[in-house]
Structure 1
Amino acid sequence: MSEEEFTRYIKTIRQQIEALHKYIVLEPTQQPIAEAMEEIVASLGNLQLCQEEMQTSLEAMEDIQDELLQQNEDLAVELQHYYELFNFAPDAYLLTDAQGIILKANRTAGALFNILPNFLIGKPLANFVAEAERSLFRIKLNQLSQLDSVQEWEIAMCPRGSQPFDATLMVAPNRDTFGSLVSLQISIRDVTKHKQANLQLQSVASQLLPEAAAGETPRSLDGLQVLFVDDEADAREFITTVLEQYGISVTAVNSVAEALEVLERSHPDVIISDIRMPDEDGYTLIRKVKALEAEKGWQIPTAALTAYLAEDRAKALKVGFQSHLHKLAEPAELVAMVAQLAGRG
């Protein structure tokens, strides 16, 4: 029954009762019946009021339903956005269960392992680990049940039909409300070129700094001026100590603002900067250094330093850094990089 029909039905009953009530009022002996009729009329009024309240509630529910539909549409758009970010990311990303069975894989992962992403699903990730390191990989997987933080592993991976490569895996455990490990988020990056570059730097270091190999301090870097920027005091102290052993003069500061103050007073031969710093990071520094170079006609070689293997080396070089080095690199690599940048080979 529609709302209109319901209202019309109530109205008809009310009219009939009112007509009956008029008739009963003319007959005093029918007073009890008249009182009953009045109660019925009152009840019908209440019934109509309930019907109006129900209609108001129905309209409110329709508004809520419209809002929910809009929210569902917004969520679908957002879900598609994050799916595209996952699927077209430049790094290989996987979602696996707690045993390392692949549940999701993006396009880069497929390209890295020479197999379509859909065919990766259901395969153990251990199948793509170099055979000599599979036992170690499984041990690391088992240890994740006791770990909560993101883990960084270096493991040799073996794509289908291709040569093994050195990889860095960032592994993030996901747990349910009971604390049980349910899945793993894994990013994989081929660091073969990075390690080769480090070997080349070591080779250059041995050629540029033969005195160091003999236990002597090389004098070819005496007087070299280096500006080092890092928000961590330990890093500033360590890098300063390493470079000063080779006769390099180091000005170490903890922020981009302090670095710019130094550049207003002096012109260093080389600038080395950490990438990840609070407030203003290394990318901000290189942009401001480039602007200062254009203003003063300078050209200062710059190097990016990072504590993260997963740091985007290509991005650092693209924004203007001439070199990129990991903080855990050997001191000889650091000195060789500075020598190369300063042209003191």
Structure 2
Amino acid sequence: MVPKSLPLMPEAEAQKLIHELQVHQVELEMQNEELSRARAELEAARRHYFDLYHLAPVGYCILSREGLVLEANYTAVNMLDLALSTLIKKPITRFIFEEDQDIYYLHLKQLYQMNRSATCELRMVKKDGTPFWVQLTSAPPDAVPGVGSEPACRVVVSDITERRRIQEENAKLQAQLHPTKKAPRKATGKL
């Protein structure tokens, strides 16, 4: 609300006030430009992070202490052939091949009890039930910015299905090339 009558001010004081307002205006414009520049840099960094995180050649998940998926990149989602919303807040064990659950729990035990990175190989299951081999590399629980105050594990999921297939083929070839000697017959006591 503007007063109806402004008190008269000496011209020198008015000039000083106008000058101070102009200086403040310039400072505000400079701050605005700096904020705009910072916003542009932040947006560029966000795009860069998006590319590194979501388009990485490996799956990346953040798991709660209870094993719930708190966050996952597009690669992890594509490995499982799921929608991101289907994976988030679900237990990771839901996507681990039933016969390999013990391997996963041993992995967790090592991770939590020794508080150091752990790696294991196990099978996961796609949406259609197809199993595939992965290597899980997990970092010890730590506070992860943006996903809550509770410590969480960062897990890298690498599809190693092709490597395992080649290893199995290699083992078969080795068995064919170097067949094991037949076990000697048990002595029956008869000649």
TM-score (norm 2): 0.70
Find out whether 1:113 has 2:109 as its counterpart.
no
Helix, strand or coil at the partner of 1:69? helix
Give the counterpart of 2:59 among 78, 82, 92: 92
Task: Using the TM superposition, give the Cα deviation of residue 117 of structure 1 relative to its aligned residue in structure 2, in angstroms.
Answer: 2.1
Task: Using the TM superposition, give the Cα deviation of residue 61 of structure 1 relative to its aligned residue in structure 2, in angstroms.
Answer: 3.0
Task: Using the TM superposition, give the Cα deviation of residue 115 of structure 1 relative to its aligned residue in structure 2, in angstroms.
Answer: 1.6
Contact 2:111 2:138 (8 Å CA) reproduced = no
**1: CA distance between counterparts of 2:37 and 2:76?**
34
Find out whether 1:201 has 2:170 as its counterpart.
yes
Query: Could you say which residue in structure 2 is the equivalent of 1:26?
Result: none
Structure 2 CA distance for partners of 1:146 and 1:57, relative to 1, 3 Å: farther
What amino acid does structure 2 have at the position aligned with 1:103?
Answer: L
What amino acid does structure 1 have at the position aligned with 2:156?
Answer: S
**2: CA distance between counterparts of 1:80 and 1:175?**
25
Structure 2 CA distance for partners of 1:150 and 1:143, relative to 1, 3 Å: closer
What amino acid does structure 2 have at the position aligned with 1:183?
Answer: A
Helix, strand or coil at the partner of 1:165? strand
Find out whether 1:13 has 2:25 as its counterpart.
no
Task: Using the TM superposition, give the Cα deviation of residue 202 of structure 1 relative to its aligned residue in structure 2, in angstroms.
Answer: 2.7
Contact 1:113 1:160 (8 Å CA) reproduced = yes
Task: Using the TM superposition, give the Cα deviation of residue 63 of structure 1 relative to its aligned residue in structure 2, in angstroms.
Answer: 0.6
**2: CA distance between counterparts of 1:154 and 1:181?**
27
Task: Using the TM superposition, give the Cα deviation of residue 205 of structure 1 relative to its aligned residue in structure 2, in angstroms.
Answer: 3.0
What amino acid does structure 1 have at the position aligned with 2:174?
Answer: A
Give the counterpart of 1:70 among 12, 37, 41: 37
Per residue, is there more helix in 1 or in 2? 1
Query: Could you say which residue in structure 2 is the equivalent of 1:220?
Result: none
Q: Please provide the CA RMSD for this pair.
A: 3.3
| Aligned residue runs from structure 1 range 328-339, under 5 A | none
Query: Could you say which residue in structure 1 is the equivalent of 2:160?
Result: 191
Task: Using the TM superposition, give the Cα deviation of residue 185 of structure 1 relative to its aligned residue in structure 2, in angstroms.
Answer: 2.2
Query: Could you say which residue in structure 1 is the equivalent of 2:138?
Result: 171
Task: Using the TM superposition, give the Cα deviation of residue 104 of structure 1 relative to its aligned residue in structure 2, in angstroms.
Answer: 2.4
Query: Could you say which residue in structure 2 is the equivalent of 1:144?
Result: 111
Contact 1:156 1:164 (8 Å CA) reproduced = yes
**2: CA distance between counterparts of 1:50 and 1:143?**
69
**1: CA distance between counterparts of 2:119 and 2:102?**
17
Contact 1:96 1:102 (8 Å CA) reproduced = yes
Query: Could you say which residue in structure 2 is the equivalent of 1:24?
Result: none
**2: CA distance between counterparts of 1:192 and 1:133?**
15
**1: CA distance between counterparts of 2:22 and 2:114?**
56
Helix, strand or coil at the partner of 1:196? helix
Task: Using the TM superposition, give the Cα deviation of residue 168 of structure 1 relative to its aligned residue in structure 2, in angstroms.
Answer: 0.6
Deviations 1:77-97 (A, max 9, x none): 221232133223332222223
Structure 2 CA distance for partners of 1:142 and 1:67, relative to 1, 3 Å: farther
| Aligned residue runs from structure 1 range 214-293, under 5 A | none
What amino acid does structure 2 have at the position aligned with 1:86?
Answer: Y
Helix, strand or coil at the partner of 2:154? strand
What amino acid does structure 2 have at the position aligned with 1:200?
Answer: E
Contact 1:92 1:107 (8 Å CA) reproduced = yes
Contact 2:61 2:155 (8 Å CA) reproduced = yes
Identical pairs, percent:
25
Helix, strand or coil at the partner of 1:161? coil
Structure 2, gaps ≥5 residues long = 182-191
Task: Using the TM superposition, give the Cα deviation of residue 169 of structure 1 relative to its aligned residue in structure 2, in angstroms.
Answer: 0.8
TM-score (norm 1): 0.42
**2: CA distance between counterparts of 1:53 and 1:145?**
61
**2: CA distance between counterparts of 1:163 and 1:75?**
40
Structure 2 CA distance for partners of 1:163 and 1:100, relative to 1, 3 Å: same
Task: Using the TM superposition, give the Cα deviation of residue 149 of structure 1 relative to its aligned residue in structure 2, in angstroms.
Answer: 4.3
Instruction: Identify which range, 119-128 or 89-98, moves more after superposition.
Output: 89-98
Deviations 1:42-70 (A, max 9, x none): xx74x754663454244223212211222
